[in-house]
Structure 1
Amino acid sequence: MTSSGSDFAAERADDPLFVQSLARGMQVMSAFQGVERPLSLSDIAARTSITRSAAQRIVHTLRKMGYLRLTEDGRGFLPDLAVLDLTYDYLRLNPLLRRASPALLELRRNVRERVDLSIFDGQRMVYAARMQSKREMFFATLVGNTVPTFCTSGGWAVMAHLPDDEVDALLRDADMTPLTPRTLTDPAAIRDQIALARENGHALAVEQILMGEVALAGAIPGSDGRPVAAIHVAGSLSEWQPEDFRRRIAPVVAEAIRSIRLL
């Protein structure tokens, strides 16, 4: 669920530059995060904690601007094409993605498995570049899809580059709902994986977010040395043993990260 309007008002009451009406509009757009069906005005009002009349005005404005559309049956609303315009601008103007694209293409040609770049955003890793293999599900292939930091190879690789107190805070506040029967939810076990990632320079995750999948990731540091993203390669356990996957994939992931840092 998105943050409520009252929460925003309380947090920004002392900020003279904060535009409350714009914030409410962005809350309406954020109401669609994670939903699996169109939202009615009542749904949007409930998910954003704003009044139905305010939701109606905001939705009307967003429809006029091309960010929302009414469904064919007239019973709900969905994001519209203008959202993709913003996504395209984000991707093409992001300096990291511009630098990383050649390395990701070369990595994909080399390994012939799925290659992703995800951006670190606290409790989640957000996929910003995806180069698919032959076995994928629709939603798993989309840019913008997110996975929890606490249980993914990219998240472990990123946390391996963070101070222990930040790792502790991330794990303390994480919603550790398991995604598979093998998802690690014990903080001590997760810390063990982070320690291995520090030792090896990469993280290996087996069936943490998808059964039958093995994934290896390395963190991409920013200019200040803090991790900002991760490159990960995913393969099928029907084709790979985890340690064979590590031996094959770890060196080329490390090389891809080195090439990005040199650009």
Structure 2
Amino acid sequence: MGIGEEQSSRSSLFNQSIEKAFAILELFGAQHSQLSLSEIARLSGMSMGSVQRITHTLEQLGYLIKVPASRKYRIGIKILTVASQYLEADLLVDCANPYLSDLSNRCLETVSLTEPSGLEMVYVARFTSRHYIPIHMPIGSRVPMYCTASGRAYLSAHDETTIRRYLEASELIRHTPDTVTDIDTLLEMILACRKRGVAWNNAEYFLGDINVAAPVLNGSGEPVAAVHVTAPGSRWTLDTALERLAPPLIECARAITKAARTRI
């Protein structure tokens, strides 16, 4: 989904009850693994009556589970069925997996494929390094575009006007002391990424986390995803990561682009 599409004007066909159900499901995560009805109402801004009806329905369908000990709700495993159906139907993931695996074996680090969703990138494939990984990013994790290598790689394949629109629409939060939040500086960085063929992020989202990324294009030359290699600061410097990881990374992204052109 492109910039602004999530906030596009709603037609008379838009169903607010479904919107509320998904809003409740999106409340659950590592920070809120279990929630009571009152907590859901407070976090969602919905009335207690609406929350009771929606949570009851989601529980009956298996998307929420009530924990007997706490009487709170947690996300149900059935939600994975919906997620797995996306991954099974995503031809890009199917095309990319062999190349991601090969790149991970070559560089001995974690390799991931992310796809754009609004102003974020979503993990859709991941091949984990045999070495220690300080940060766990499971499939479905979302990261902002402006301060991550995968997001900058995706943005670098757009024209300058579109890049600026994405940046201006983003909530530019300083996640670490090294996070760049100035729009003009970010634009310069992304254009430099385009010139080099890879994007990078040096501890701007997680401390000690270095990433190098390259865009994946469709048959029309438009960006549809990004491949990135995670290079922990305990084993890499940014300069070394760019020197050693960029060539095989670009080769991998180009191979996925070529394979995907016949299928997506």
Whole-angstrom CA distance in 1 between matches of 2:234 and 2:49: 54
Q: Alpha-carbon deviation of 1:79?
A: 0.7
Q: Relative to structure 2, which stretch is displaced further, 45-54 or 152-161?
A: 45-54
Whole-angstrom CA distance in 2 between matches of 1:208 and 1:24: 33
Is 1:82 matched up with 2:78? Answer: yes
Q: Alpha-carbon deviation of 1:183?
A: 1.0
Greater RCO, CA 8 A, separation 6+: 2
Query: Does structure 2 retain, via aligned residues, the 8 Å contact 1:39–1:78?
Result: yes
Aligned to 2:95: 99
State the number of aligned residues. Answer: 252
TM-score using structure 1 length: 0.88
Whole-angstrom CA distance in 2 between matches of 1:124 and 1:243: 26
SS at match of 1:31: coil
Q: Which one of 211, 234, 257 corresponds to residue 261 of structure 1? A: 257
SS at match of 2:216: strand
Query: Does structure 1 retain, via aligned residues, the 8 Å contact 2:133–2:232?
Result: no
Query: Does structure 1 retain, via aligned residues, the 8 Å contact 2:112–2:228?
Result: yes
Aligned to 2:49: 53
Q: Alpha-carbon deviation of 1:231?
A: 0.4
Equivalent AA in structure 2 for residue 96 of structure 1: L
Aligned to 2:133: 136
Query: Does structure 2 retain, via aligned residues, the 8 Å contact 1:171–1:187?
Result: yes
Alpha-carbon RMSD? 2.0
Equivalent AA in structure 2 for residue 214 of structure 1: I
Residues 23-60 of structure 1 show CA distances to partners (whole Å, capped at 9, x for unaligned) of 32222212326743411112222333332112111111
TM-score using structure 2 length: 0.88
Is 1:191 matched up with 2:187? Answer: yes
Q: Relative to structure 2, which stretch is displaced further, 223-232 or 42-51?
A: 42-51
Aligned to 1:3: none
Query: Does structure 1 retain, via aligned residues, the 8 Å contact 2:116–2:224?
Result: yes
Aligned to 1:41: 37
**Residue 15 and residue 64 in structure 1: after superposition, are their counterparts in 2 closer, same or farther (change >3 A)?**
same
Write out aligned runs for 1:57-76 (5 A). 57-76=53-72
Equivalent AA in structure 1 for residue 96 of structure 2: A
Is 1:109 matched up with 2:127? Answer: no
Query: Does structure 1 retain, via aligned residues, the 8 Å contact 2:217–2:224?
Result: yes
Q: Alpha-carbon deviation of 1:256?
A: 1.0
Whole-angstrom CA distance in 2 between matches of 1:145 and 1:61: 26
Aligned to 2:16: 20
**Residue 168 and residue 33 in structure 1: after superposition, are their counterparts in 2 closer, same or farther (change >3 A)?**
farther
Q: % of aligned pairs identical?
A: 29
Equivalent AA in structure 2 for residue 257 of structure 1: A
Q: Alpha-carbon deviation of 1:182?
A: 0.8
Whole-angstrom CA distance in 1 between matches of 2:139 and 2:123: 5
Q: Structure 2 regions of 5+ residues with no counterpart?
A: 1-6, 260-264
Q: Which one of 159, 174, 191 corresponds to residue 155 of structure 2? A: 159
Q: Alpha-carbon deviation of 1:111?
A: 0.7
SS at match of 2:132: coil
Whole-angstrom CA distance in 2 between matches of 1:31 and 1:205: 28
Is 1:124 matched up with 2:120? Answer: yes
Whole-angstrom CA distance in 2 between matches of 1:225 and 1:123: 20
Write out aligned runs for 1:177-188 (5 A). 177-188=173-184
Write out aligned runs for 1:193-208 (5 A). 193-208=189-204
**Residue 213 and residue 54 in structure 1: after superposition, are their counterparts in 2 closer, same or farther (change >3 A)?**
closer
Is 1:235 matched up with 2:231? Answer: yes
Q: Structure 1 regions of 5+ residues with no counterpart?
A: 1-7
Aligned to 2:240: 244
Q: Alpha-carbon deviation of 1:122?
A: 2.7
Q: Alpha-carbon deviation of 1:76?
A: 1.5
